[in-house]
Chains A and B, each alone.
Chain A
């Protein structure tokens, strides 16, 4: 029962973070929110007894892809400064 409640709260948090990621004007906030979506999703997978998927999601979804997004954002900003 308590696991179900935690899972529900996590699902709502994922929805909230996803909405922030889509609608926030600041790209940095949007990237972090997208990373948090993956982090909460990995906890949810663990609760739903899928540890293999949870590991992949935590490492790739919230770790590597967030960093890659930041690298790309940094690169885009530099290019904009050069052209402006």
Chain B
């Protein structure tokens, strides 16, 4: 009884706070100062047709580096706790066989999903999407592959090498911006090119390719670690 009264009281306080914010939290009629600055100067300063990418990779590039680092930490913690013994993987297991349709379809669809993921992160400066989205799409292609062949093992060495190298080159590109251009992760040290084409926006496509590879390999690592726990001790 007392517990229910407390719950109701907490909910009431939350409701009171939200009711107060409802009055002045309307949609903005115009962009605020920072957003106006980005929208007006972004195309000429950064050269990316997709303004969201310009903000994420260049203006707020340091935040992106932080996010990638957090994702790396998560992936490595999961890998650490789900570490399976080698002999567990070797033992024959009786996993329920997947259906013929899924198996055949995955052979055709998986390469296309990988291609879509790569397309999304290479064109991150032109079309919606970018490194994170492309990496997530690549990882979901891997999920399809693992669902169709539950006995398959992903080579963790390749994932680790790709992940570490792309993280390293991401930081190297950032430092090159510091040395050759205006500041850390400044993209203008590569010639900006013609606005709206694939080879434009300076270093943004290169940085996004590395972010895409990094995120894709991290999420693939998480999924394949989870999948390996399914094989042991049946």
Shortest Cβ distance from B147 into A: residue: A67
Query: Which residues of chain B have C-beta atoms less than 8 A from A60's C-beta?
Result: 136, 219
Contact A64 B128 (CB under 8 A): no
Q: In the complex, which of the residues A55, A67, A75 contacts B223, with contact meaning CB atoms closer than 8 Å?
A: A67
Q: How far is the CA of A43 from the CA of B143 in the complex (A)?
A: 22
Contact A64 B230 (CB under 8 A): no
Known: A51-B128, A67-B147. A59 touches B140 (CB 8 A): yes
- Grouping DSSP codes into helix (H, G, I), strand (E, B) and loop, the B interface class, with mixed when no group exceeds half, is helix
Q: How far is the CA of A74 from the CA of B234 in the complex (A)?
A: 11
Interface size classification for chain B: 20 to 34
Contact B230 A71 (CB under 8 A): yes
Q: In the complex, which of the residues B128, B137, B234 contacts A59, with contact meaning CB atoms closer than 8 Å?
A: B137
Query: Which residues of chain A have C-beta atoms less than 8 A from B137's C-beta?
Result: 55, 59
Contact pattern, A 54-69, Cβ under 8 Å of B = 1, otherwise 0: 0110011001100110
Residues of B bordering A, CB below 8 Å: 52, 120, 128-130, 132-133, 136-137, 139-140, 143, 147, 219, 222-223, 226-227, 229-230, 233-234
Residues of A bordering B, CB below 8 Å: 51-52, 55-56, 59-60, 63-64, 67-68, 71-72, 74-75, 78, 82
